[in-house]
Amino acid sequence: MNPLELPFDTDDMLKGLAPWIECESPTWDAVAVNRMMDLAAYDMATMGAEVERIPGRMGFGGSVRARFPHPDRGKPGIMISGHMDTVHPIGTLDVLPFRREGDICYGPGLMDMKGGNYIALEAIRQLARAGMQTPLPVTVLFTPDEEVGTPSTRDLIEAEAARNAYVLVPEPGHDDGGVTIGRYAIARFNLKTKGRPSHAGARLSDGKSAIAAMARRIIEIEDMTGPDCTFSVGVIRAGQWVNCVSSSCEAEALSMAKRQNDLDSGVQRMLALQGSENGVEFIVERGVTRPVWEPDTPGTARIFDIARDIAKELGFEMKGRSQGGGSDGNFTGAMGVPTLDGLGVAGDKFHTLEEHIEIDSLAMRGRMMAGLLMQIDANL
């Protein structure tokens, strides 16, 4: 049987996705993420996989690894890498409920990336029901902390990738149906200003506002953005009382570059900003870094060729490109393990209260994943 003709049923897939989306799993809530991992672990166990729960660390939730039945289990095969954490806090379902409206479906984390994770499992399920054996063994690894740079599971992902020959990442697909064959380098920074407190009404001039100093620094940082390296500040935390001059302010910044040397240069520019000015100390600490994944690796090109041929059979032209917005594919691609990313569902507005997917993409991308699992072999 042709894997592209497997009976993927959109209604059944939405029904299966509902408990996943209605199980909110923001990164910073380890208990919530573990509830989501329980659902995924149960689903994979019912599919016959050997499921392993891996405890979390650094305050994050745990991970789930599943090895599916195969005569060559234990030998290098295909790793499917996904994350189950989302950017949406508990309570988002109140304003962004899981719901279908015509040809689209809404829900927190549906596009990024529970929908992609689900279609990967559905592809494995459909192949098993049809009695179709993949040429290579398949391992699925779901992790809890991608949305904050994967600080607690990078080594776990890299260790599993090193045991396999190929990596497929069902992160959101491109608008035109394309996939990701490389990703830009990303660095995160923790920023802090330390000033001097005072009463904002009685002794304003005695204080040194950490908030005002941080505001000036944010403008300076974002003005460093150029064609080769970008800088942005997305989080600020400071102050408790409006009548107090704040002595402390914290922020988080992100830098992204297409080439590793440009990111390295950007990191040095950020670190060089440290120091004291007008009685306020500015501290820059380097956080999580995602290495550049170059788009011209031969192994990735070979599996992209397979994906492009499958797309033609499905009736569309597939393009591959390098893109920003890091994923765990940065790590596996940078290792030199052939990696294909962006294999997940199509949609829009992820990371917002309008996150949604195109329902037709569930079956389409499911068939794409099934085709890849059946055509990728050790002889590529």
Output the six-digit token pair for 171: 């992160």
Extents of the domains making up the chain: 3-184+292-375, 185-290
Q: Would you state the CATH architecture of domain 3-184+292-375?
A: 3-Layer(aba) Sandwich (3.40)
Q: Which residue has tokens 């506002």? A: 209
Reduced to 3 states (helix: H, G, I; strand: E, B; else coil), residue 157 is: helix
DSSP 174: P
Nearest to 108 by CA among 122, 89, 126: 89
Fold of 185-290: Alpha-Beta Plaits (3.30.70)
Q: How many Å apart are CA 215 and CA 227, to the nearest integer?
A: 24
Q: What is the CA radius of gyration of the chain?
A: 23
Nearest to 39 by CA among 24, 58, 56: 24
Over residues 112-121, the pLDDT tens digits come to 999 999 999 9
Report the share of the chain in percent with pLDDT over 90: 96
Strand ranges, E, within 115-243: 138-143, 166-168, 179-183, 185-194, 198-199, 229-238
Confirm whether pTM is higher than 0.85.
yes
The residue-averaged pLDDT of 187-206 equals 96
Asked if the peptide bond before residue 318 counts as cis, ω within 30 degrees of 0, the response is no
The one-letter amino acid at 205: S
Over residues 247-285, the pLDDT tens digits come to 999 999 999 999 999 999 999 999 999 999 999 999 999
